[in-house]
Amino acid sequence: MNMLLSNKAIQGAFERIEHLDMSCLESSSYDDGFEDSKYVDCPAG
């Protein structure tokens, strides 16, 4: 078995990625995915 894929950090990331809502990327007037996210993604440096 690929040991890296059994790494918990990788598994956690793949789990998050699995639940990304890609449909939000295709519409021009969407409720985009990160609006429901608990993450604060802010572009400012």
Please report whether residue 39 would count as binding another protein according to CB under 8 A: yes
Distance CA 15, CA 26 (A): 22
Ranges of H-type helices in 1-45: 8-18
Q: How many residues lie near another protein (CB under 8 A)? A: 36
Distance CA 12, CA 16 (A): 6
Give the contact letters, 9-28, x = binds to another protein (CB under 8 A), - = no. Answer: xxxxxxxxxx-x-x-xx---
Please report whether residue 5 would count as binding another protein according to CB under 8 A: yes
Residues in contact with another protein by the rule CB under 8 A: 2-5, 7-18, 20, 22, 24-25, 29-35, 37-45
